Structure 1
Amino acid sequence: MALGARLLLGLALLAALIGVLLQLYRLRKPRLWTPEELSVYNGTDEGLPILLGILGSVFDVTKGRSHYGPGGGYHHFSGRDASRAFVSGNFTGDGLTDSLQGLSSMEVNSIVDWRKLYFDKYIFSGKIVGRYYDSQGNPTKYLKGVEMKAKRGAQLLEKQKSEEDKIPNCNSKWSQAEGGEVWCEAGTGYPRLVRRPGDIALTGKVSQRCACFQEAELGRPGLVVYEGCDYLSTSCKVK
């Protein structure tokens, strides 16, 4: 057999072996962590990876260390499962908990979305035995309930988006010399600030958007007239 053919055969066999090893790696049983074991991997020891948990899944986020210094960008909640903090923004005391009690379905959906992002971005490093996984690594009833609630939240967010799409956004512009202005095209209505409660799930705050409402709709609850703007003006100056 020619040398070139032997080299090609060798490379093919090596590629096949790597594929088998990768498949075995994917199929290996995830490590099961106790909260006490995980707590050591909190970024304070430069010789250890930085691990954090979300909904009972553990991720290696060590690559953030070089950008953020000791502890990386996760020093507030690494070495534990602090799922609630992903929407509450509370990284102290009782805020560092894996309990989602009292959160809305949209907030729970946001945490599930964070978990998906971590699966896509970081190395999955096992499961935490406790609230979300049992001693065999199987999902608990609590985790199944969380995922069902997240699905309801996703449906509500989709419904909100659909409702928003029915109401046109205002046009807007801003310049340093003249400041800002919002306006509605002729026939599309009058500019009003309207709440977007679904944003609580993403930012922890209720945000507002400018939308154009017809005159018959201006009595709807929750609509706010821009300060200093006439009730039926189609354009408003904003700060």
Structure 2
Amino acid sequence: MMVAKMLVASRLYVGIAALVTLIAVLLRFSMRPPIVQSRLWTAEELVLYNGNNNGLPILLGILGSVFDVTKGRSHYGPGGAYHHFAGRDASRAFISGNFTGDGLTDSLQGLSSVEVKGVVDWRDFYFRSYTFVGKLVGRYYDSEGRATKSLKGVEAKAARGAQLLEKQKEEEAKLPSCNSKWSQDEGGEVWCSEGYPRLIQRPLEIAITGKMSKRCVCFNEEELGKPGLEVYEGCGPLAKVCKLN
């Protein structure tokens, strides 16, 4: 009799444990945000998915493409480092780093071709890493979900940026770059194993970024008379190592 009672109690315990487990699983799934179906979105709808409502997924837009980033809630939810991207298309901020006010816009006006390429690269990252859930009606897609002239213009400009970067890479490969290092205690320095360090203007930089910049190149002594070569400040004309201020 005692054995029979123990068997009944054991089975009852197993049954209760299984029921508790089932309830826990059901509760866990019921608390998950619903799966978002791919569709067209308006800005007014998208803002509701900014992570402030735990019952909804977290969505963001970039160049009019909308992605479910709920699996990155720690980053995109309230208090997360990327929360400013949630519930909106802030394409410009991906490259500008301006996460306030007018910086959180989808307009890329005034950005260089390489900067625009950077935004397109970010969009490609989201396609690889998160779930695409539709298109945002507005600057980049019309009410039928068709790409607008703005989107086509952005993609064409990004392609030009990629071409310019490749051309610059090919041009710079023709001239050996200086070695360089920097430390907080000693500052920076550049040096040449062969030749002498000189600053030269990057020939395509204005076309690429809209700004002028220079790079350090090692030149042989017989080349030092070429126009456009600049000696580092405080560095002798035949010094092979130059300290940076």
Q: Per the shorter chain, which TM-score range? A: 0.7 to 0.9
Shift of 1:217: 6.2
- The counterpart of 1:184, out of the listed 192, 198, 211, is 192
Residue 241 of structure 2 is matched in structure 1 by 235
Unaligned stretches of 5+ residues in structure 1: 1-28
- Please give the per-residue CA displacement for 1:155-184, whole angstroms capped at 9, x wherever unaligned: 111111111211212123567886654211
Residues 51 and 76 of structure 2 are in contact (CA less than 8 Å); yes or no, is this contact kept in structure 1?
no
- Residue pairs, 1:1-239, within 5 angstroms: 30-66=38-74, 70=78, 72-173=80-181, 180-186=188-194, 189-194=195-200, 197=205, 209-214=215-220, 215-216=223-224, 219-220=227-228, 224-238=230-244
Q: 1:123 to 1:235 in 2, by over 3 A?
A: same
TM normalised by structure 1 equals 0.73
User: For residue 48 of structure 2, what is the amino acid of its counterpart?
Assistant: V
Tell which structure's C-alpha radius of gyration is larger.
2
Runs (5+) with no aligned partner, structure 2: 1-36
* Partner of residue 21, structure 2: none
User: Structure 1 residues 180 and 87, CA, compared in 2 at 3 Å: closer, same or farther?
Assistant: closer
> 2:64 & 2:225 partners in 1: Cα distance?
46
CA distance in structure 1 between the aligned counterparts of 2:213 and 2:55, rounded to whole angstroms: 42
Letter in 1 for 2:123: R
Counterpart-to-counterpart distance in 1, 2:171 and 2:225: 14
Q: How far apart are 1:230 and its partner, in Å?
A: 1.1
Q: Does the 8 Å contact 2:177/2:217 carry over to 1?
A: yes
Query: What is the letter of the counterpart of residue 89 of structure 1?
Result: G
**SS of corresponding position for 1:38:** helix
Classify the secondary structure of the residue corresponding to 2:140: coil
What is the TM-score of this pair, normalised by structure 2? 0.71
- Deviation track 1:201-238 (CA, whole Å, cap 9, x = no partner) reads 6xx99876433234346531xx6533321123121234
Q: Which residue identity does 1:35 align to in structure 2? A: A
**Distance change >3 Å, CA 174–CA 78, structure 1 → 2:** closer
Q: Distance in 1 between matches of 2:107 and 2:188?
A: 43
Counterpart Cα distance in 2 of 1:36 and 1:84: 19
Read off the aligned partner of 1:172 and give its amino acid letter. Answer: S
Q: CA deviation at 1:129?
A: 0.7
